[in-house]
Amino acid sequence: MYTVSDESILSSLKEMGPSAIDREIRLLGDEGSTDEAMLYFIEFIEATLKTNKHFELAHSYLALFLKVHGDQLASKPQLASALESLTNTQLHSWDRVQSLLQKSLGMVNYLRSATV
């Protein structure tokens, strides 16, 4: 479920520059942090995808997160389980986006052929 807290996190990330976002994501797996921070980030991305908004933004954050912390994620069962849930949500989200793209392409093709 997408919460006010998730919205404030997303707003904060949107206001940051690329280097600040990179730093924040890298800090999630820092030596002093716990797995809970990474778990919460995975849940945050999943909740964001479920809103059907900010699709590209969520995927760019996820790509960086996986690139930076991929080794750690694979070795921890709780995080791997959360990633499986995220994968299912991501596939469902992509199916929706793909369906909308197909409808848009169909409409463009119709309009193109109708005006000739």
Closest to 50 measured CA to CA, from 81, 85, 15: 85
Please, how many CA atoms are within 13 Å of residue 34, restricted to the half-sphere of its CB?
Answer: 3
The helices-and-strands tally (H runs, E runs) of the chain is: 5, 0
Domain borders along the chain are 4-89
The answer to whether residues 41 and 28 touch, using CB atoms and an 8 Å cutoff, is yes
pLDDT for 88-105, tens place per residue? 999 998 898 899 999 999
77-99: b (≥16 Cβ within 10 Å) or e: eebeebbeebeebbeebeeeeee
Q: What proportion of the chain, given as a percentage, has pLDDT over 70? A: 93
To the question of pTM greater than 0.85 for the whole model, the response is no
